[in-house]
Chain A
Amino acid sequence: MIQFILRRLLQVIPVFLGTTLLVYFMVFALPGDPIRALFGDRPPSEAVIAALRQQYNLDQPFWVQYGLFLKNLFTFNLGVDFTGQPIAATLGRVFPVTVMLAVEALVIQAVFGIGFGLIAGLRKGKIFDSTVLLASLVVIAIPIFVLGFVLQLVFGVYLGWAKPTVGTDVSWSTLLLPAFALALVSFAYVLRLTRASVIENSTADYVRTATAKGLSRPRVVMAHILRNSMIPVVTYLGASLGGLMGGAIVTEGIFNVPGVGQKLYQAILRSEGPTVVAIVSVLVLVFVIANLLVDLLYAWLDPRIRYEK
């Protein structure tokens, strides 16, 4: 087991190198000169531009730039961005916000997705099931930027139940509305996956046997139907965590959440290679670790799966 985890962690190294190289190259290949873009309509002297270029190593060829970036990374010196702020400090500021947002969204989609999915699955073909299925289809069909604005307008502006935007006031309660918007799309998938899985497991032989043993209905549902139905759902939830972190760009934009998505968007617009790559690297790490956790959780949920060594 330990060996399995170690091996998986070692796999992070090539994944990490590959993604950073790719992202770095894509930022490098963006058209336009990032230094000139900084100054807009009033270009500074050539000497200033040359100095800035040298400061950010933009005068070096690609491989040298990338090599310097890696070297800095391993000495825990992420450097400064174009506004002179240390990148490490920026990461330390934006990541907790996005992690809060993503975790809150994850909890919302797990609780509601699994809850509604279970009830719908147990009442297959009844009114509740049909309603929930239809509603989830609608949610899947509408893009998140529409859903986000609708939620903001209804709950934030008309009803006034929540602050329409987050701004600098970041807390679990202010993030509730954006987390809900973020959760909605995956929620529909979790619901459908749970429902399908519950329907499949409800007719399993061991469920009938469990009933024949004299177990009460709630016990059969919880210990035998729901427990077994969680196997695919947990896999999906874990995999969606990475998506929630990275996919928060639109949601963070709508609700003005000072998180990773917003920062990443700005950095891409400014062609700030080091900032983009730093953010993406952390996202890659999150993704890989989330997947590892899913694998471990999977083995815990399904004892037939054992990772040897």
Chain B
Amino acid sequence: MTASDVTITEAGTPANRPLLEIRDLAITFNTSNGEVNAVRNAHFTIMPGETVAIVGESGSGKSTTALAAIGLLPANGRVSGGQILLDGEDISHAPEKRMIELRGNTIGMVPQDPMSNLNPVWKIGYQVKETLRANGRPSGPEDIAKVLSEAGLPDAHRRARQYPHEFSGGMRQRALIAIGLSCQPRLLIADEPTSALDVTVQRQILDHLEGMTSELGTAVLLITHDLGLAAERADKVVVMYRGQVVESGPSLELLQNPQHPYTKRLVESAPSLASRRIQVAKEQGVQAADLLAPAAEALTADNVLQIQDLRKVYKLRQGLGKSSDFAAVDGVTFDVLRGTTTAIVGESGSGKSTVAKMVLQLEKPTDGKILFDGVDTSLLKPSELFKFRRRVQPIFQDPYGSLDPMYNIYRTIEEPLRVHKIGNKASREKKVRELLDQVALPQSTMQRYPNELSGGQRQRVAIARALALDPEVIICDEAVSALDVLVQAQVLNLLADLQSNLGLTYLFITHDLAVVRQIADHVCVMEKGRLVETGSTDDVFDAPQQEYTQALLNAIPGAKLMLPPEVA
């Protein structure tokens, strides 16, 4: 669906006039530190029926630009220059009354997070109904059901009577898409519409969205941080960096021949486009593969972790003392070789994080064994458990949540040393300096607090803290999922370097197969608490045995894009 396919849209816009034109747009925020120019000289056009993606990392101004187009800038933000032309009409300073007319009918929106964008106290049907009613469309039960079923919600009459909390994330996003498209707008703003969803669901939702918008002739402004996804879904890609449009053009062209240095970096580090294990650590992987050959020896000698028939059953309360059993982890068995990276992948609810928690001894297994260096961890005495914790360290997903905001960085990294009574004050300070060097943070970081650091820097601090006790095994629970692609690539490289220098073993929990490809030697695929496939990363990626694994792999955005070898 390129612009040339659509000659006349329903409202009679000539095909050669853009539906939306952003001209030299500048957006300013009033903050406590004075004015901040979030967007400067942004410039791009969307033709009727065309899909345009804005790509950039968080803080690049991509969402801000999109919100300005629908008049929903936060209270402290304003358009400070340029124009937003919708069908020739400048709406950058349009009165609220005009914006209310346009919203829903002419410009629809599908927001980012399906969990927080539906009002929890109203039924789904009602939230569709009020949209139809506000835009002067028929809003009877049949109309509501039609809107919902078109968005791919089966059994729409019943679904309309349910509340958001009775829906899964994917279903909620379908409901939000239904709402966004219910009044058949000519422009749909989709702000990271699938970033909160599992990859397989992501693919279904995007396919459906694409089908619906091309059928209705809706132009789409897709906001995403994922270049692969943008290139796959959009006719045109606009790359934003620090509030400015640095490059724009037809998707494939831009991907194959990026001009701006930032775009080049973005293409190189897009995990969905990379196809190889990060090189430094590959050598370790080869060694590990050699060790794997005599399997019997490897079992005794080099399996640092052995997980045997691990089960975790939660009791779900059903009131009045009744409960039913729910097996979050059901008979999982695998080994982790010393000095390698084993990844556990799966969608949310597959039990992968529960495995990590049990390995860290934060949860007690219902059944099964976890052997660390051949010793059953369930038999450890409190003092031995204390020593065990020194050898197995975690890095968690959210670097915002896992660092104490009241501790400065020095205290954060030094704390484990102090707790384990290692060295004196001087030697501990020396160690902290070394650790900061290892994770490539300046030593001046010591005096700073977590809120003064970026997400990537915080995750480096979390890594430094995990390394403080010279552990043998590091459990990374979605350790890079919250980071932007470029930062993600840096952190993955850092982890790979540290592994080859210090001989670390990683157990990597992630939902992101693209990341697995870059970091892991072995992959365990989990589905609904069970291990469905294990093997070396190359085997699993090149010849997946299970249908589920294939579905996961196919769902990686941009997987099918052909790129010149020097870029990929």
| A residues with CB within 8 A of B | 3, 204-217, 219, 223-224, 227-228, 231, 301-304, 308-309
Contacts and interface: CB of A to CB of B under 8 A. Distances in A.
B121 A228 contact: yes
Interface in B483-524: none
Contacts of B113: 205
Most chain B CB inside 10 Å of its own CB: which residue of A210, A213, A217, A309: A213
Contact of A223 (B70, B118, B122): B122
Given A214-B103, A215-B134, A303-B165, A209 B319 contact: no
Interface string B117-142: 11111110000001100110000000
A206 B100 contact: no
Contacts of B10: none
Interface in B177-229: 179-180, 183
Interface in B85-134: 96, 100-105, 108-109, 111, 113, 116-123, 130-131, 134
B320 interface: yes
A231 B111 CA distance: 25
Interface of B: 70, 72, 96, 100-105, 108-109, 111, 113, 116-123, 130-131, 134-135, 163, 165, 176, 179-180, 183, 318-320
B131 to A, nearest CB: 4
13 contacts: A205-B113, A206-B118, A212-B103, A213-B131, A214-B100, A214-B102, A216-B134, A228-B119, A228-B120, A302-B120, A303-B121, A304-B165, A308-B319
Contacts of A228: 119-121
A304 B120 contact: yes
Nearest to A207: B119
Nearest to B101: A214
Given A213-B135, A227-B122, 9 more contacts: A205-B113, A207-B119, A208-B72, A210-B119, A212-B180, A214-B100, A214-B131, A216-B134, A303-B120
Given A209-B111, A308-B319, A214 B105 contact: yes
Contacts of B100: 214-217
Contacts of B134: 213-216, 219
A216 B100 CA distance: 6
A309 B321 CA distance: 11
Contact of B179 (A204, A213, A231, A301): A213
B121 A213 contact: no
B125 to A, nearest CB: 13
Contacts of B176: 209
Most chain B CB neighbours (cut-off 10 Å) among A227, A228, A303, A309: A303
A309 B422 CA distance: 55
Contacts of A227: 119, 121-122
Contacts of A303: 120-121, 123, 163, 165
A302 B179 CA distance: 22
Given A216-B100, A303-B165, A304-B163, A206 B117 contact: yes
Q: Which of A205, A216, A219 has the most chain B CB within a 10 Å cutoff?
A: A205
A248 B302 CA distance: 76
Given A212-B103, A213-B130, A308 B121 contact: no
B119 A212 contact: no
Contacts of A224: 119
8 closest A-B pairs by beta carbon, nearest first, are A214-B104, A308-B319, A214-B103, A212-B109, A205-B116, A213-B131, A206-B119, A309-B319
B304 to A, nearest CB: 43
Nearest to B103: A214
Contacts of A215: 100, 104, 130-131, 134
A207 B121 CA distance: 12
From A210, A214, A308, residue with most partner B Cβ within 10 Å: A214
Contacts of B180: 212
Contacts of B96: 217
Nearest to B114: A205
A308 B116 contact: no
B116 A206 contact: yes
Residue from A207, A210, A212, A231 having most chain B Cβ neighbours under 10 A: A212
Contacts of B122: 223, 227
Nearest to B106: A214
A124 to B, nearest CB: 9
Given A304-B163, A309-B319, A214 B72 contact: no
A227 B320 CA distance: 31
Nearest to A223: B130
A213 B119 contact: no
Nearest to A212: B109
Contacts of A205: 111, 113, 116-117
Contacts of B108: 212
Nearest to A303: B163
B135 A301 contact: no
A146 B118 CA distance: 47
B84 to A, nearest CB: 15
B450 to A, nearest CB: 23
Nearest to B122: A223
A209 B117 contact: yes
A304 B120 CA distance: 7
Contact of B72 (A3, A212, A302): A212
Nearest to B163: A303
Contacts of A308: 318-320
Contacts of A302: 120-121
A10 to B, nearest CB: 13
B75 to A, nearest CB: 9
A207 B130 CA distance: 13
Contact of B135 (A206, A211, A214, A217): A214
Contact of A212 (B111, B318, B319): B111
B388 to A, nearest CB: 39
Nearest to A7: B320
Contacts of A223: 119, 122, 130
A95 to B, nearest CB: 35
A211 B72 contact: yes
A208 B67 CA distance: 10
A303 B131 CA distance: 21
A212 B70 contact: yes
B118 A213 contact: no
A303 B101 CA distance: 31
A309 B322 CA distance: 11
B111 to A, nearest CB: 5
A308 B323 CA distance: 12
A95 B238 CA distance: 72
A301 B117 CA distance: 18
Contacts of A301: 121
Contacts of B117: 205-206, 208-209
Nearest to A300: B121
A209 B109 contact: yes
Contacts of B319: 308-309
Contacts of B130: 210, 213, 215, 219, 223
A171 to B, nearest CB: 38
Contacts of A207: 119
Nearest to A203: B74
A303 B123 CA distance: 9
A270 to B, nearest CB: 47
B119 A211 contact: no
B103 A208 contact: no
A148 to B, nearest CB: 38
A79 to B, nearest CB: 40
Most A CB within 10 A of own CB, among B119, B130, B318, B319: B119
